[in-house]
Amino acid sequence: MRTSELDTALREAAGVIERVDVPARELTVRIGGAACLFALAPDCQLMLHGEPVKLRLLQALDRAQLRYARAGDDLIAYQVRVL
């Protein structure tokens, strides 16, 4: 990915986690009726009830708030907070 392809403006979204893929470091989150696939940035901050956690602790049906950016057609998450 070239730097010019990365939209550096962080966006926010809220939804429900549908799938957690730990080996691939990806989350599928249902946002407004659409399933969105997010790749996790290497320094992605994962929070569960205000505490930092490992990806394996997030589960389907968790309600999440994400901060993310677009890289071409890809969505890259930089922060995931589970409420």
pLDDT at site 83: 87
Q: Where are the alpha helices (DSSP H) in 1-82?
A: none
Confidence grade of residue 73 (pLDDT, cut at 50, 70, 90) = very high
Say how far apart CA 5 and CA 73 lie, in whole Å. 9
3-state DSSP call for residue 83? coil
Give the pLDDT confidence score for residue 8 in this predicted structure: 67
CATH number of 11-82: 2.40.50.320
Structure tokens at 72: 């071409």
Question: Residues 2-60: pLDDT tens digits?
Answer: 444 556 689 999 999 999 999 999 999 999 999 999 999 999 999 999 999 999 999 99
How do the domains of the chain map onto residue ranges?
Answer: 11-82
